Amino acid sequence: MQSTRSDPINAETLESISAYVQTGNGNLNWTCPFVLPGWLAAWWPHFSMDWKPYLFSVHHQGNLAGIAPLMRSGRFARLIGDRNVCDHMDVAVAPSRGDPFCRKLLDHLAQDGVDQLVLSPVREDSAVMTHLLPAAERWGARISSEPEAQLHALSLPDSWKKYLQGLSGKERHEIRRKFRRLDAAGKVNLRCIEDPDLVPDAMEKFISLFRANRKDKAAFMTGSMPAFFRSLALNLASGGLLKLYFLDLDDRTIAATFCIAHRSTVYLYNNGYDDAFRSLSVGLLSKVLTIKDSIRNGWRIYDFLKGTEAYKRRLGGKPINIVRCVIALNH
């Protein structure tokens, strides 16, 4: 697409949208970590297949209104990413410019021959749901949306003591009991890798623990997946977003937790542990320790991400729906 920076709609690349994040141009709400440029750059070479990049910046009255990180195949367009490794996705919209962003984006897609825009998975409180779908309905498109999954998120108090008090009595007792048993087994230490120079070696340990944890995880971490995780970790660390935790018992690393820290939220992306230490509940406790560290560092939200595992509710997570949306533009 031929365009200039003065056009209402400008074609972008994965490289060019990085500048919007780095400079804070337009004060965009990049609320979703799974559409940040570093994430997209890690995902694209491994999973894009026959899709073509189809990214746009939308401008209104000389100001940046939003970014649409899309990809296209024929007459279909969708958000860049996939549900296997992206828990939810979104568009990036500037405050108070949601309406012109949506209207101009929809006009452009229809004129450019896009029949169907697939937006999945997205949170029920995403910009897609709060801005784009209502705008598409006013625009005259046929829209459909349906819940397809849930995530669980926890509002963090300002102290570990308050967090424990907010749990059920039974869960509070169980956590304390499990920690006493772990402490009795040896010297316990939680360390966090954030330095990009340390990430390559740390990721080999993470991948090893992840594969050794369960057969289904070992099957998941094959093909392009290890290379994606390595690239992703480096990109996140370079942007100051990676928190790669390791739980050590004496001189042995027994669990690893891959977290993403973005804006006011810590996201629990993945976890693995040495199955020889299953009896010490190290899978659960390694996650609990990252909650404790998040509270200590003043983070406001701990997002357990997609999945309805019981421990997420027991540890205080509240459900948020993840939705699949389709906008039919030319019908």
Within a domain: 1: no
**Is residue 203 domain-shared with residue 181, that is, in the same domain?**
yes
Q: What is the mean pLDDT of the chain?
A: 94
Give residue 103's pLDDT: 95
**Is residue 169 domain-shared with residue 51, that is, in the same domain?**
no
For residue 19, name the pLDDT band (cuts at 50, 70, 90): confident
Distance (Å, whole) CA 172 – CA 163: 9
More confident residue, 169 or 30: 169
The boundaries of the domain holding residue 109 are 9-146+322-328
- What's the angle, vertex CA 238, arms to CA 234 and CA 243, rounded to 5? 70
Question: In angstroms, what CA-CA distances link 211 with 90, 194, 218, 229, 243?
Answer: 30, 22, 4, 13, 20
Within a domain: 229: yes
Give residue 237's pLDDT: 98
Within a domain: 214: yes
Give residue 24's pLDDT: 65
pLDDT single digits (tens) 90-129:
999 998 899 999 999 999 999 999 999 999 999 999 999 9
What mean pLDDT is predicted for residues 181-192? 98
Give residue 2's pLDDT: 39
**Is residue 175 domain-shared with residue 295, that is, in the same domain?**
yes
Of 61-65, 177-181, 221-225, the least confident: 61-65
Within a domain: 256: yes
Distance (Å, whole) CA 125 – CA 225: 29
**Is residue 14 domain-shared with residue 108, that is, in the same domain?**
yes
Q: Do 210 and 221 meet the contact criterion of CB atoms below 8 Å apart? A: yes
**Is residue 40 domain-shared with residue 126, that is, in the same domain?**
yes
Give residue 1's pLDDT: 37
**Is residue 73 domain-shared with residue 111, that is, in the same domain?**
yes
Identify the CATH number of the domain in which residue 250 sits: 3.40.630.30
More confident residue, 29 or 255: 255
Identify the CATH number of the domain in which residue 62 sits: 3.40.630
- pLDDT-above-90 percentage for the chain: 89
- Count structural domains, the chain: 2
Distance (Å, whole) CA 242 – CA 224: 21
Give residue 278's pLDDT: 95
Q: What one-letter code names the amino acid at 48?
A: S
**Is residue 86 domain-shared with residue 213, that is, in the same domain?**
no
Q: What is the pTM of this model?
A: 0.95
